[in-house]
Amino acid sequence: MTTAVDTDLYGVVEDAAAYLYVWALKDIPQDLRDALADAAARETSIPGQRVLNTILKNVQVADDGGNLVCQDTGIAVYTCRVGERFPLHPVRIYQALKAGTERATIEHPLRSNSVHTLTRENTGPNTGYRLPIVHWEFIPDWDGLDVKCVPKGSGSENMSFLKMCVPADGVKGIKQFVLESIVGAGGKPCPPGIVGVGIGGSADYAMYLAKEAIARPIGTRNADPHVAKLEEELFQLLNETGIGPMGLGGDVTVLNCHIEHADTHMTLNPVAVNYQCWAARRASAHIGSNGDVDYDREA
């Protein structure tokens, strides 16, 4: 039986999803804007400067016209932190997120990118079988819901890599794999962007951790000092490749490198790399059990 509270919260979550999807596509976060401006200031190659200045102009034009930052509206990927006392069941939360994604696509309107993996026929307004994608985290002794929307375009998503490294290779092996991945990607993922690295867990969980890493504000560091040190080292190393903006050569290949990790089996060392293009779009909402919504630009 659906209660009045359930119905009200369902609508709130649906509205939040519809708003977050469009907001993320139109208004990139301030930390990203600052990182792009800083990149333009320190880039010394002429082609790299031109690319970065064009990117900054693109952002300004989108702001002025209320337009999308990029035509690739991607697929909507949500991360939900659900309090154990939040009154709306996760099944209903997912239904609301899906309905909100459809509304945003139709009402804006947005390009619909979702297709069947074999027939390639369109499956709906950026929805379909197991779309949108939702990751879940359940929080004890809390009655709230946090929703983060990270639209993921195919240009950067195609540049995703996974390797089951040999534990004996250690940190050196991790560095080598990440470096080889980014060099191999070249200009395809629209650099400079954020390199997300997931280490540990299992093969599938490592890739999830890499996705979690790209959704952090630029330049934030992992709480584990060993991991934070590796983030800094990879950030410097990747910018020494000379790939540069859009792969045309230059000083700035990545805006930053973020790593998330999990403990793993003694004979495992899975490492995943996920790239987020320069338009690193994200938007969040904090929803209370009473239906109050606080939209968070920077989370």
Residue 188 exposed, middle or buried by CB count within 10 Å (0-12, 13-18, 19+):
middle
The token pair at 12 is 């709130």
Q: What pLDDT was estimated at residue 1?
A: 41
Per residue in 22-49, pLDDT tens? 999 999 999 999 999 999 999 999 999 9
Average pLDDT over residues 179-187: 97
Going from N- to C-terminal start, the domains of the chain cover 4-26+70-151+281-296, 154-276
Q: Are strands 160-164 and 133-139 parallel, antiparallel or unpaired?
A: unpaired
Residue 255: is its pLDDT beyond 90? Answer: yes
Confidence band, pLDDT 50/70/90 cuts, at residue 155: confident
Q: Which residues contact 33 (CB under 8 A, 6 or more apart)?
A: 59
Read off the pLDDT band of 7 (50, 70, 90). Answer: low
pLDDT digits 0-9 by tens, 157-171: 999 999 999 999 999
**HEC assignment per residue over the chain:** CCCHHHHHHHHHHHHHHHHHHHHHHHCCCHHHHHHHHHHHHHCCCHHHHHHHHHHHHHHHHHHHHCCCCCCCCCECEEEEEEECCCCCCHHHHHHHHHHHHHHHHHHCCCCCCCECCCCCCECCCCCECCECEEEEEEECCCCCEEEEECCECHHHHCCEEEEECCHHHHHHHHHHHHHHHHHHHCCCCCCCEEEEEEEEECHHHHHHHHHHHHCCCCCCCCCCHHHHHHHHHHHHHHCCCCCCHHHCCCCCCEEEEEEEEEEECCCCCEEEEEEECCCCCCEEEEECCCCCEEEECCC
pLDDT band of residue 293 (cuts 50, 70, 90) is very high
Mean pLDDT of the chain: 95
Asked, colleague to colleague, whether 4-26+70-151+281-296 and 154-276 share their fold, the answer is yes
Mean pLDDT of 231-249: 98
Q: Using CA atoms, how far apart are residues 117 and 212, in angstroms rounded to an integer?
A: 24
- pLDDT score recorded for residue 2: 43
What's the pTM value of the predicted model, to 2 decimals?
A: 0.93
- For range 64-76, the mean pLDDT: 94
Cα separation, 113 vs 153, in Å, equals 9
**How far is it, in rounded angstroms, from Cα 40 to Cα 49?**
6
The CATH code for residues 4-26+70-151+281-296 is 3.30.1330
pLDDT band at 297 (very low <50, low <70, confident <90, very high): confident
| Tokens describing residue 157 | 């998503």
| Domain 154-276 annotated CATH 3.30.1330 | yes
Q: Residue 122 pLDDT more than 50?
A: yes
- Distance, in Å, from the CA atom of 268 to the CA atom of 120, rounded to the nearest integer, reads 36
